[in-house]
Structure 1
Amino acid sequence: MGDIKMISIRDAVAYILSIAGCTSPFRISRMLVLANWKMLKEKGTIALRFKVDGFQAGFAVPEIEEIKRRIKDGSERCIKINEQKKCFEYVCEEKVELPREVSDVIQKVFDEIRSLDDISLNRIVVRDPHYPELLKRGGFHEG
């Protein structure tokens, strides 16, 4: 299928929020990992480069913390924190545009995990045979 354009984590997060609504950073991070794994399996490459800091039972994506920092300092205008619900929300009118092959994969992942609770969602990621390698490499750095 050829090369897939790298997408910024900010744009991927905005897209996730535009389809999923109010979503916690925890769930967003799991969706990002699952989307890259699905893309790697289906297309042979990834579209998202990001770090993963974690251990056997869980992880965090530092780039999501950077988005949170930008929200708090006012430099991020389309993603806001809903303190009551402890989630991020996409608040802009403009549609988030991603290459179709990327948006399709993210949509598939969302459809697959939407009914899962956080524990079940985390389990899918941390029990995946690719997870130890993801931790060892510290994230997705190249396809």
Structure 2
Amino acid sequence: MSSRDMFIPQKKKIQAEGNQFLWHFNDPNTVAESTSFHKGYFPPTGEYSWGFSGSTGSGDEENFFSFLIMVPYLGEDVLEYTYKLGDGKDLHFSHTHSIPAPPGFTGFRVVDADDAELSIRLDPIKGTVQGDFNATFKTYRLNPNGTFKLKRDDQ
């Protein structure tokens, strides 16, 4: 069994000024309306991780769509690295989207990537990260490619 916490923005747009998280499939870029970059506790491993996310829509409107990327927290040194899912370096990449639900409920489905790669440059002291990513979600036939440039929102 695995578990993880999921945070869905209460407001449709939440992001630090200047943050940018975008992705595309085979069409123009989708620009995230909400972004997040934070250090948090990851329950399955009991260790701290860096989390980067971008989303559009909202649960209330039943059109929520997001990507969440997590890598282990390795200290306060600048981190420049390319992670590949399954390389033993603990990259986590998932996608969450709204699903139909009974009246009075909001439904979400979280899907883990089948394959993913992330190249980042993270400066914990400055509180900035830049990244490029691609992933494959076989069940949904999604192959997003994207970039992000974020400021920490937990400082």
Measured against the shorter chain, the TM-score band is under 0.3
Q: Which has the higher helix share?
A: 1
Larger RCO: 1 or 2 (CA < 8 Å, sep 6+): 1
TM-score by length of 2: 0.26
Which structure has the greater CA radius of gyration? 2
Using the size of structure 1 for normalisation, the TM-score is: 0.27
